[in-house]
Structures are given as C-alpha cells and as structure tokens.
Amino acid sequence: MMNSDAWITLLFAIVGGAVRVGTPFLFVSLGECLTEKSGRINLGLEGVLVLAAMAGFAGSYLTGVWWLGVLLAGFSGALLALLHGALCSLPRVSDIATGIALMLLGTGLAFYLGKPLIQPQAAQIPSIPLGAWSSSQLVQSALSINALFPLGVALAALMHWGFANTRPGLVVRMAGDSSDAARALGYSVNGVRIAATTAGGFIAGIGGASLSLYYPGSWNEGLSSGQGLIAVALVIFARWRPWRCLGAALLFGGAGAIGPSLQSVGISGGYYLFSAVPYALTLVILVVTSSARGSLRGAPAELGVSR
C-alpha cells in the first residue's frame, strides 16, 4: 500500500528523526555515564530532564537568547543532581530510592513553575543545515540538525579521552571502581561522587533544553516520559563508554522517530504502540546484555545496578 516514494520519505524521516530525537538521549546518557562512573546511579535524571526543559524554556523565553536558556537548563539540572548527590552521601540512603524521589520532585517543580509557560513561544536553538548541498527538500530537512548535537558529539569525545587521560577522569573512575582505593589515596569518595553527579546533572540538563527548545520545541507537561530513565538503560547498553553512548542515543532516537515518521506519511494507526518501541527495545537490550550470574562487563565495581 506504500509506493517507493513513501518508503524513501519514511527512511529520511527516521534518519533525520534519529538525530532530532536522539540528541536529548545523548546528553542524558552522557550525564548518567559520568554519574555511574563515579559509582552511583541517578534515576532522578528523569526529573532533571523535565525540570531543565522547563528552566531552559523559561530562560530562553525571558531573555530571548537561546543559549542563555540552555545554560539555565544546565544549572537547574546541576542543582537538582547536587541534591541527589548530597542525599546519597547520608548514611543508609539508597541512590535508587533518592532517584525515585527526585523524579517526583523534579517533575512537580517543573509542572508548578512551568504553568505560565505552556502558551508562549521562546527563542529556539538554531539548526545547522548540513543538507544545504542537496537540492532535495527531503535531504535538507533530514540533515538539518540541532546545533547542540555536534556539542554532544564533542562532549562524548572529550569524556572518552578524559576518562583515560586526565586526573579528574581517573579519580572519578577510581571512586566508582574501588572506594577503598580512592580513600587510601586521600580523596573524599562522597566529594568525588557529588561532583560527578552534579556535573552529570548539568549535562543532562542541556538535553532537557534540547527537548523544550528544539524538538518538540515547546514546554508542556507531557514533554518527557521516561527519556531520562531510558538513558540509565542506554548507559548499560553502551557498557559505560561515552563513545558508545552516541551510537546508542542515535539508535534509540531512530526507534523513537518511527511513530512520528509513519504519521508524516499518513499512517496513524498504532501510534501509541510505535511510541512504546523505545521502551520495549530498552527492555530487550537489558535482557540480552545482562547475564544470569556475575556482574556486567565494563560496569563500575561499586555500582548497584548489577546486583
């Protein structure tokens, strides 16, 4: 029932969508990667994402400058993540439970403070027309990418290099692999983890800004439903390697773009089922990559995810 033109349109829509939908995934998974490398899971990144999306929209709306919105999103994300880091440093407080709490708090604060922002339009993050060489409208729109995406790629490269070659990178990894070793060398494990969680929150916050300032490009209460959580699974899939987070984010972006792409060629049946594809894919990946015994390959040793 679909001719070849429709198939090509669909393909380009999915490729373009992979970058468009995948950009927030990329930032959140890089943020989560940094947090988990230090030995803690932050399930609260879901809350961070929603709060940062609202803050980013508010910043851009009030100042009229998109990058100020992005910065504000980062800082609001960092603030919420800082709370996570500090709470988890208390005795007998689990990082999983704290993550659930911050998911609720972040969403609540964002909905509360974002009430007046549902109608207006804010200055958007600009697009980079990588497809300008082509005369085809299709290619142009597929390759017109979010200006934050190259930043995310650069960040992935930086983290990849930094974890292996810089002092802070090694300290973070040490805190995540052996808190005893870190303590023996005179580092405060909690301090390192709070710093890593906060920085991770900042990075994830930028992903939130990409949601409200690029795609879908407005603030509403249904903006994020589980992207922050999927990121946690993405990091497992990426085996805690920043580079692989990029590939994973694009894969999930593509999966998330299937539903809207089908709609763009006029197939609207099963829309909700297609919207559930990323979650199902995450679940399948978790099942495939986990093993019946022992911990996950590449997982920071102090992490509780592979209990």
Partner 1 sequence: MHTPRNWHASAEAVLLPVMALAAALLLFGVFCWFGGQSPTEVWGLLFRGAFGDAFSWQNTLQRAAPLMLTALAVALPAQAGLTVIGGEGALALGALGCAALPYVIPVPGGVIGSAMVLASGALLAALWVAIAGVLRQWRRVNETISSLLLSYIAIALFKHCVEGPMRDPSSLNKPSTRPLDEALRIGAIAPDSFLGDVHWGLVIGIAACVLFGVWLSFTSQGFSLRVVGGNARTARLVGLATDRLVVLACALGGACAGLAGAIEVAAVQTSANASVIAGMGYTGILVSFVARHNPWAIPPVAILFGGFAAAGSLLQRRLGLPDASVLVLQGFAFVCILGAEALRGRLFPLLTTRPAFTVIKPAAGNKAIA
Cβ distance to partner 1 smaller for residue 108 or 298? 108
Phi/psi at 128 (5° precision): -105, 115
The region of 63-71, 123-131, 242-250, 269-277 touching partner 1 under the rule CB under 8 A is: 269-277
The region of 56-64, 71-79, 203-211, 263-271 touching partner 1 under the rule CB under 8 A is: 263-271
- Smallest distance, Å, CB 208 to partner 1? 17
Look up residue 56 and give its DSSP letter.
H
Cβ distance to partner 1 smaller for residue 65 or 104? 104
- Of residues 212-231, which lie at the interface with partner 1 (CB under 8 A)? 225-226, 229-230
Among 8, 290, 297, 298, binds partner 1 (CB under 8 A): 290
Beta bridge partners of 145: 128
| Angle separating helix axes 45-63 and 66-88, nearest 10 degrees | 150
HEC readout, 6-43: HHHHHHHHHHHHHHHHHHHHHHHHHHHHHHHHCCCCCC
122-161 mask for partner 1 (x: CB under 8 A)?
----------------------------------------
- Of residues 18-47, which lie at the interface with partner 1 (CB under 8 A)? 39-40, 43
Q: Taking the CB of residue 204, how many other CB atoms lie within 10 A of it?
A: 35
Three-state DSSP state, 305: helix
Is 304 one of the binding residues for partner 1 (CB under 8 A)?
yes
Query: CA 208, 130, 28 angle in degrees (round to 5)?
Result: 20
Among 1, 3, 4, 112, binds partner 1 (CB under 8 A): 112
Is 179 one of the binding residues for partner 1 (CB under 8 A)?
yes
DSSP characters over 244-285: HHHHHHHHHHHHHHHHHHHHHTT--TTHHHHHTHHHHHHHHH
Contact present, 176 and 38 (Cβ < 8 Å): yes
Among 97, 154, 157, 181, binds partner 1 (CB under 8 A): 97
Is 305 one of the binding residues for partner 1 (CB under 8 A)?
yes
Q: Taking the CB of residue 31, how many other CB atoms lie within 10 A of it?
A: 34
**Six-digit token pair at 55?**
């803050």
Among 91, 186, 222, 266, binds partner 1 (CB under 8 A): 91
Is 292 one of the binding residues for partner 1 (CB under 8 A)?
yes
- Smallest distance, Å, CB 33 to partner 1? 15
Is 275 one of the binding residues for partner 1 (CB under 8 A)?
yes
The region of 23-31, 123-131, 151-159, 281-289 touching partner 1 under the rule CB under 8 A is: 281-289
CA dist., res. 228 & res. 212, Å (int): 14
Q: How many residues bind partner 1 (CB under 8 A)?
A: 56
Cβ distance to partner 1 smaller for residue 155 or 303? 303
Is 115 one of the binding residues for partner 1 (CB under 8 A)?
yes
CA dist., res. 198 & res. 81, Å (int): 5
Beta bridge partners of 128: 145
Based on its alpha-carbon atoms, the radius of gyration of the chain, rounded to whole angstroms, reads 19
Note the residues at the interface with partner 1 (CB under 8 A): 39-40, 43, 83, 87, 90-98, 100-102, 104-109, 111-112, 115, 179, 225-226, 229-230, 232-233, 269-273, 275-276, 279-280, 282-283, 286-287, 290-293, 302-307
